[in-house]
Amino acid sequence: MISLSPLNVPLKKDESMRYINSPIAKYLLKWTLLPTRCILLLLPFFMAFFKPAVSIGLGVLSGLALVRLFLSSEVQKQALEIFRSRKWIFAVYGFLQAWMFLSVFWSGAPDSFSRAMSFNEMLLVPLILLVFHRDIRSFLNSIIKSLAAGCTLAGMITLYFVVFPDQVPVGEGYVFLLKKIPAEVDHLRFGAYSPFLDRLYYSYLTAALILVLIFRYLYLQEKSWMYYSLIIHLPVFFFLGGRGGQLAFVIAVILGLVFLWIRRNQWWNGFSASKLKWLSALSVAGLVGLFVLVSVSEKYSLRYNQLKWELQNYTSMDEADEEFQFQTVILRLTSWEHNLKLIRENPLIGVGIGDYRHAMGESYQREAVELPVHTNQQFLYFGVVGGLPLMIAFLVFFVGSFWNIFLHGQPIVRLSVLVWWSFMATVMLFDSPLNYQMPAFLFLSVWFFLYFQFDREGRGPQ
């Protein structure tokens, strides 16, 4: 019988503690494991209110990891071995960090250092994951169950508004439970950090999928790394826009399932009748699903019509018109256009990490564009603040680490890496999640976690 409680997952002492030689470290781990699970259980609910609470929670985990690092000689040896075997990726990573902090000195904006320090999680994550490299399997069940349970409970609140869409609150967060629902609600403008408004309001399917994944994991014991990675990355929806995050999620799942289907069926050896039947069924289901999304669902059809309208008005629009200030397509196209102009003007060192908004604002003023400045493309953002060297370094790190894992990892590891990487790549094309503190931590946590879960011989977790 499998316990449903995320706080009732026993550790195997011979696996989780055998690499820890210090009695102090064992004592700290033993008495901090339960609070850590509680923090993970509550993380999704903290996200709905403010980011510092989540930073505190992950700070506790970071502290535990660093204790492991400094008190375990075996872990220190393992860390050195990994650094030696991954010299090229760490060299690129080090250049990325150094160039980012150097850009502070040629930036005149007063918030240069604070902006640079918003990426400080990128410096800690490799150390944290190196600590858990050897015995991550022992803690994984507890971590996954706790985090997934919190996401599921938060998702259940979202599902409530499927049945009662007229009761969607505006900017109230969880406080709406204590208040009387207003008679009239503007469904087009939602609050900022609520898991059941703009961050997950368009992702009811995601919440339902969480339940399916939890069921398959807890009852069917499908310990696939695909399910693990999908569950881990779902909190991204609390920070990214619901529709954009859902689109990226769908693309990632489709690629992952296609890869899994190809691996299992080995269709390159020839199609059989059963394979053609499955392929036909998937094609028909995909076409029907697309038709339903575009033609039947009023929500998606309205969005599709708005997309066409924005594209038609982009070249001939009057930027001074306030009507365009909240149109996401026009805002992104304008942002990309001026990003490219700034990169051409400062190709070597960029404008500095603290001068992005100032430089973009001046570029808008020169062409009489009266639109708000946003960072709507992660790769172009690095090119603007640090020039081509910073943008190329990030591309090499992002693509190179993915390709390294995909070539040498076990099939199930390759599958989860493909799903996660395609998800983040899709998001980065239309947004800049690494500009914010917690998404940066989440992205690099999962990415380094996957990166260090296989060794040089290609042996990885099953």
From the number of C-beta atoms within 10 Å of its C-beta (0-12, 13-18, 19+), residue 171 rates as middle
pTM: 0.60
pLDDT score, position 8: 32
Note the pLDDT of residue 424.
Answer: 74
Of 222, 153, 233, 214, the C-alpha closest to 4 is 214
Q: 405, 427, 319: which is closest to 368 by C-alpha?
A: 319
HSE value, Cβ hemisphere, 13 Å, CA-based, for 289: 7
Concatenated DSSP letters of 79-126: HHHHHHHTHHHHHHHHHHHHHHHHTTTT---TTHHHHHHTTTHHHHHH
Give the chain's residues under pLDDT 70: 1-83, 109-111, 116-307, 313-327, 405, 408-417, 419-420, 436-462
Check: CB of residue 410 under 8 Å from CB of residue 458.
yes
Q: DSSP secondary-structure letter at 58?
A: H
Task: Quickly count: other Cβ atoms within 10 Å of residue 240's Cβ.
Answer: 20
Neighbouring CB atoms inside 10 A of 124's CB total: 17
Q: Quote the pLDDT of residue 389.
A: 92
For 172, residues 6+ apart whose C-beta sits below 8 A from its C-beta are 179, 191, 194
| Domain segments of the chain as ranges | 22-271+323-453
Q: Mind listing the pLDDT tens digit for each residue in 127-183? A: 554 455 454 445 555 555 565 555 555 555 555 554 555 555 544 444 444 444 444
Instruction: Spell 181-217 as b/e; 16+ CB within 10 A means b.
Output: eeeeeeeeebbebbbbbbbbbbbbebbebbeebbeeb
